[in-house]
């Protein structure tokens, strides 16, 4: 069990905690520029922040934390910046995996891993293996990830299954589509946080965020502290999630122990 003291500090009842928080960690470059430093300096500090946020998410009892580390589109950045980010990803995993293990963290990766270097792929596989017996927070890192590419991959796989006669056209429903996405088996994100003040989704979890709450933090990622994280969670606790219904229906569903609002989600 996570320590309840930290949850109490949040001033949010456990039932109002998001199960799955997804983060668009944005603003590293601007953070560095504001300090007259090269962009890669921001990425370095950003990586430091990840450590703190992962630990905090686990302590609050959040089940899944998805971190958008590198998008499909980020491959178009200058080669040296891409190289530094890849190096930092390797460095983070190598340095943190024992500590993640100590924290009982599970590890997953989503995205097109075929574009990563063999050494990073190997490290990812080793880290998954090392943490495979854990039962705490699921740390899900989106690397070389783009939601449109993910959905396209899923469509191709489903088409192959139909062509091979293993799935009929009639069996294709929303649940089946979800099960072919990289996030298969994970709950949809309840809360998507984007730092840096940008108000866009940038090809992140397009299918899965259909009913997510969004929180846009005004700070750059390297300044996204535990306190900023707590603000986002507290905001989430004050939102009314209606899933297309009226407020009165939500109140009724919440008072009826047999039908929680969660149960009204489609996927
Ligand atoms: C987020 O920060 C990190 C990645 C996208 C890899 P940015 O590098 O996008 O920083 P800004 O948005 O340019 O400030
Ligand atoms: C989104 O940030 C991707 C990650 C945080 C990894 P970007 O900085 O790449 O997004 P845009 O280009 O501003 O939309
Ligand atoms: Mg950015």
CA-proximal residue: ligand 1, atom 12 (nearest): 27
Residue 14: the pLDDT is 84
Q: What integer is the mean pLDDT of 236-261? A: 85
Ligand 1 centre distance from Cα of residue 198 (Å): 11
Pocket test for ligand 2, best of 28, 73, 142, 146 (most atoms within 8 A of CB): 73
58: tokens are 């686990």
Nearest CA to ligand 1 atom 13: 29
Query: DSSP characters for the chain?
Result: ---HHHHHHHT--GGGS-SEEEEE---HHHHHHHTT--HHHHHHHHHHHHHHHHHHHHHHT-SEEEEEEEETGGGGS-HHHHHHHHHHHHHHHHHHHHHHHHTT-EEEEES-GGGS-HHHHHHHHHHHHHTTT--S-EEEEEEEE-HHHHHHHHHHHHHHHHHTTSS-GGG--HHHHHHTSTTTTSPPPSEEEE-TT----TTSSTTTTTT-EEEE-SS-GGG--HHHHHHHHHHHHT----TTS-HHHHHHHHHSTTS-GGGG---
pLDDT digits (tens, 9 = 90+) for 63-97: 999 999 999 999 999 999 999 999 999 999 999 99
Identify the residue whose tokens are 């979890």.
205
For the cut 90, the answer to whether the pLDDT of residue 256 exceeds it is no
What mean pLDDT comes out for the span 143-170?
98
Distance in Å, CA 157 to ligand 1 centroid: 32
Task: Compute, in angstroms, the gap from residue 73 CA to the centroid of ligand 1.
Answer: 11
CA dist 74 and 194 (Å) reads: 16
Q: Ligand 1: which atom is nearest the Cα of residue 39? A: 8
Q: What pTM did the predictor assign?
A: 0.94
Atom of ligand 2 nearest to the CA of 24: 5
Superfamily of domain 17-241, CATH level 4: Decaprenyl diphosphate synthase-like (3.40.1180.10)
Q: Which of 11, 28, 72, 74 is catalytic?
A: 74
pLDDT exceeds cutoff 80 at 266: no
């Amino acid at each position: 069990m996570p320590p309840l003291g930290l949850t109490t500090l949040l001033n949010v009842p456990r039932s109002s905690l998001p199960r799955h928080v997804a983060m668009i960690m944005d603003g590293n470059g601007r953070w560095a520029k504001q300090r007259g430093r090269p962009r890669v300096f921001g990425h370095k500090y950003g990586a430091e922040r990840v450590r703190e946020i992962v630990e905090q998410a686990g302590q609050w009892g959040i089940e899944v934390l998805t971190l958008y580390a590198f998008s499909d589109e980020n491959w178009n950045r200058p080669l040296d910046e891409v190289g530094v980010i890849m190096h930092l990803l390797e460095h983070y995993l190598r340095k943190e995996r024992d500590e993640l293990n100590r924290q009982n963290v599970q590890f997953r990766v989503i995205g097109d891993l075929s574009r990563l270097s063999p050494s990073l792929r190997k490290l990812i596989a080793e880290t998954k293996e090392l943490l495979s017996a854990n039962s705490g927070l699921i740390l899900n890192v989106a690397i070389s990830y783009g939601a449109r590419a993910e959905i396209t991959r899923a469509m191709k796989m489903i088409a192959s299954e139909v062509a091979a006669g293993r799935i009929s056209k009639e069996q294709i429903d929303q649940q089946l589509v979800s099960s072919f996405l990289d996030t298969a088996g994970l709950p949809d994100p309840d809360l998507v946080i984007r730092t840096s003040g940008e108000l866009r989704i940038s090809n992140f979890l397009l299918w899965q965020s259909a009913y997510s709450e969004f929180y846009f933090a005004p700070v750059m990622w390297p300044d996204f502290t535990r306190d900023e994280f707590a603000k986002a969670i507290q905001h989430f606790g004050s939102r009314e999630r209606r899933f297309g219904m009226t407020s009165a229906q939500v109140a009724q569903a919440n008072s009826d122990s047999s039908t929680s609002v969660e149960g009204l989600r489609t996927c």
